[in-house]
Amino acid sequence: MTMKTGKSEKTFNLGGNLTINRLGFGSMRITGPGIWGPPKDEKEVLRVLKRAVELGVNFIDTADSYGPNVSEELIAKALYPYPKGLVIATKGGFLRGGPNEWTIDASPVHLNEVLEGSRKRLKLDTIDLYQLHRIDPEVPAEKTFEFLQKAQHQGKIKHIGLSEVSVEDIKKAQQFFNVVSVENMYSFSNRVWEKVLQYCNNNKIAFIPWFPLDAGYTENLKVLERVANRHSASIRQIALSWLYHHSNNILLIPGTSNVEHLEENMKVGSIELTEDDMKGLE
């Protein structure tokens, strides 16, 4: 599934009522090493968040497990009171035991605890987009979906999304609520979830690739380099631009804790890949 030209839509309508810029910001990397604890340079991180909004970002992706809690707290510290139109998406469904340690817990009890925590840390009565970080193999999916459905009916959540799911998972969840986003691992060199991306595109569901700059594309470096040279861009920028042009329902969320890297990432929105570029990259 490739766009026929290098043109791409700049915005996406999330859930039918939230218009967001497709080039957003992922906040996992604004924490400490191993996605644990505070960042080494909090002042720089706060500058990154403020600069992202200045550059047109109005979609920020986070989770209670980033830190844990640290990412959400920093977002509020840097940006609250939030500018009009800023959409903050957060996630729940992981327990953290230490650096790089992740344990799935999507039980209603845990989700209720972390959802309330996210609302408090982000200073939001209603979270615009709340995504289930993982479907828990130890918990009946129906129980998890029922909790999210109830939280939405209570006004704590406006829209609901999923992460690391198959088409079958999405269809099952859609029996309980409208799935407006899917966040799966996906990149120029990792297209395992292509069928999910296609399903989401066909059903007007946002597709949010996490780890969009998979560093393992050594076999593809030459073709990336050729396109990068034609556009006076970096390989990193072209890898992101390919995602941006590949499908108009993709929301990019490259993350960084450095202003310089942020500004480099944001230039991706002005790169217009040609039809020949896209054919070569495919």
- Just list the catalytic residues: 66
Helix 259-266 with 42-54: angle, nearest 10 deg? 20
What is the sign, positive or negative, of the torsion defined by CA atoms of 278, 211, 45, 228?
negative
What is the sign, positive or negative, of the torsion defined by CA atoms of 51, 57, 63, 66?
negative
Q: Which two tokens stand for residue 197?
A: 């991306």
- The per-residue b/e assignment along 94-110, b for 16 or more CB within 10 angstroms, e otherwise, is bebeeeeeeebbbbeeb
β-strands 101-104, 179-185: how paired?
unpaired
Strand arrangement of the beta sheet that strand 87-92 belongs to: 25-26, 59-61, 87-92, 127-132, 157-163, 179-185, 206-210
129 DSSP 8-state letter: E
CB 251 within 8 A of CB 18: no
